[in-house]
Chain A
Amino acid sequence: MLINYVPILIFTVVAIGLVAVIVVLSELLGKKKHFPSKDMPYECGMDPIGDARHRYTVRFYVIAMFFIVFDIEAIFFFPWAVVFKSLGWFGFWEMLVFIGIISVGLVYVWGKGALEWE
């Protein structure tokens, strides 16, 4: 049974080998010329402004978490929509419960004032 996994082993060896070859070859053959504008961090082709280690306001995190919640809700909607008919009314009510629980989350953050951006 373990013999079935030999392709995976071969694949792993090839992958590691290929990466090693590429890295070693470019290290050996590549030119190493440094000049200031080459060593600069790439920032959309512009000269970088300031340090990348900014402190962001914590509100971004709340918005991000919020986004993830509704993102995942949407992901669950698609398979549900595909089999909507065969699931019937039961699937409909079940989904309504799911949306209801997520809405409670919305009501909660809203009530707590997380959406206000003074």
Chain B
Amino acid sequence: MTFTIPSFHLSSIGPWLTLTVTAILILVLDALSPKGRKVCFSWLALAGLAVAAFQTIGLWGSTGTDFARMVYIDDFANFFYLIFILGAALTVLISRQYLEDYGKNMGEYYALIIFATVGMMLMAAGSHLIMIFLGLEIMSIAVYVLAGLFREDLRSNEAALKYLILGSFSSAFLLFGMAMLYGASGGTLFLNDLPLRLGADPAMAPLVLLGVGLLIVGFGFKVAAAPFHMWTPDVYEGAPTSVTAFMAVAVKAAAFAAFARVFFLAFPAIKVDWNMVLWVLAVATMTIGNVAAISQTNIKRMLAYSSIAHAGYLLMAMVAANQLGAMSLLYYLLAYTLMNLGAFGVVILVGRKKDSYLNIYDYSGLGAAHPVLAASMALFMFALAGIPPTAGFVGKFYIFSAAIQAGYIWLAIIGVMNSLVSVFYYLRITVLMYMKPAEADLGPVVFSPALTAVVALTAAGVLAIGIFPGCLYNLAMNAVKIFPGL
């Protein structure tokens, strides 16, 4: 037997390699450093992420595939790399003080965050369904562990177990869908080959539909779309707040990256079939998320339902399935990363030692006690609600215009009405902060430099890309040129 090893360039997966090496280095250092000695893992992690970001920028503009067509090199992947790196870096920054309060500032935490980021990159760049599945598993397994980081906390245990069991189910659905497509296509899982091969044999049409349906279940779980959203509130509430932030932004972004790439590249020919399913999912997700968020008094649960609602808006962009829709997906996920991580930064700050104050009424009187903190929280809430001049408004504007451009007027109307509902619970926080007196003295807020920096950076970012979206619009528009079927 002879094998020829296909030619490849390690530089085309440079960011993955850097992050893998960083995570392994952190693990080794953590194991070898004597007990009780502080090693600055967070700085190491940030350094690795910074190098990966530079490599990504170096890859910008290059197109093609590598590693025997297993990996796409294009700006769509690069754009998502930057979203993941940004999400991971901000998560690392908000984690340190928070974990130290719990006595959990361990190397493993940072290693797992970075391993999860590598998995996300695989998902965004995979050109073969098995690559995407591998990426999904690498990401998910790391996040399952992260959700259960606080071993002594029952709710954290519950979150990890729920996420693990339901997540395994969804992975199985996804894999089963891929198996169906493998059979229907006559033995290929390359996204490039699938459209031609799937259309070849009309007798296989039911198998194709079954496969696509199972893929929707698998991805729908990961993006927390109704009716596969049941795990979200419990897992988001029980997991450590910094992990919740990471799950809400980066995991969702990765799932949407793979979702969009697979559906826009491989199944444009049967758009009619999956479009209606996603239409229903989008409406259900938005409505359930927003309506359930109204009655929440725990801020983490409220943000969990809000993240479900945002998955609904993003599904709208998938339904639209045009250039503008794909572009708005990229823009909105970046904007969502900024505004949601900022909001979670404030939640950690206000939660004080060991998440003592997670009730929304603990925000009463924050406007008088800490005007700047309250102002940034108000800004994030406005952004999440989609009020100009924030990034959230521009993102929603793009998504709704994409839906209208594709002819889904009713979907856009339902989306706008949902936004109106969401304004209630986002603005309730603002009203509590500015118009209600503090209910009790909750003690001082400890402003650690890293957390303050995250809140300041994200607040500035939300305003900046909200007021000047043009540059990002062009970048994202170029990135989605890879979808010829749209």
- Using CB atoms and an 8 Å cutoff, list the residues of chain A in contact with chain B: 1-2, 82-83, 86-87, 90-91, 101, 104, 107-112
Which residues on A sit within 8 Å (CB–CB) of B1? 82-83, 86
Would you call B32 and A91 a contact (CB within 8 A)? no
- Cβ of B204 < 8 Å from any Cβ of A? yes
Would you call A1 and B27 a contact (CB within 8 A)? no
Which residues on B sit within 8 Å (CB–CB) of A91? 5
Would you call A1 and B204 a contact (CB within 8 A)? yes
Would you call B3 and A87 a contact (CB within 8 A)? yes
Which residues on A sit within 8 Å (CB–CB) of B32? 107, 111
**Bound CA–CA A82/B204 (angstroms):** 38
Cβ-closest chain A residue relative to B33: A111
Which residues on B sit within 8 Å (CB–CB) of A83? 1, 3
- Cβ of B101 < 8 Å from any Cβ of A? no
Would you call A87 and B5 a contact (CB within 8 A)? yes
6 A-B pairs besides A104-B27, A104-B28, A107-B32 with CB distance below 8 A are A2-B203, A82-B1, A87-B5, A90-B5, A101-B24, A108-B27
The residue from B3, B30, B203 contacting A86, defined by CB atoms under 8 A apart: B3
Q: What is the CB-to-nearest-CB distance from B320 to chain A, in angstroms, rounded to a whole number?
A: 34
Cβ-closest chain B residue relative to A91: B5
Interface of A is mostly: helix
- Cβ of B153 < 8 Å from any Cβ of A? no
Would you call A1 and B2 a contact (CB within 8 A)? no
Q: What is the CB-to-nearest-CB distance from B16 to chain A, in angstroms, rounded to a whole number?
A: 13
The residue from B5, B30, B31, B201 contacting A1, defined by CB atoms under 8 A apart: B201
- A-facing residues in B26-63 (Cβ within 8 Å): 27-28, 30-32
Q: What is the CB-to-nearest-CB distance from A73 to chain B, in angstroms, rounded to a whole number?
A: 16
Q: Given A1-B201, A1-B203, A1-B204, are A108 and B28 also a contact pair (CB < 8 Å)?
A: yes
Chain B CB within 10 Å, residue with most, of A82, A86, A90: A86
Would you call A104 and B24 a contact (CB within 8 A)? yes
**Bound CA–CA A86/B32 (angstroms):** 38
Would you call A107 and B204 a contact (CB within 8 A)? no
Would you call A108 and B3 a contact (CB within 8 A)? no
Which residues on A sit within 8 Å (CB–CB) of B30? 108, 111
Would you call B31 and A112 a contact (CB within 8 A)? yes
Which residues on B sit within 8 Å (CB–CB) of A82? 1
**What 1/0 flags go to B187-204 for Cβ under 8 Å of A?**
000000000000001011
**Bound CA–CA A93/B444 (angstroms):** 56
Which residues on A sit within 8 Å (CB–CB) of B31? 107-112
Q: What is the CB-to-nearest-CB distance from A88 to chain B, in angstroms, rounded to a whole number?
A: 8
Shortest 7 CB-CB contacts between residues of A and residues of B: A111-B31, A108-B31, A86-B2, A1-B203, A108-B27, A86-B3, A104-B24
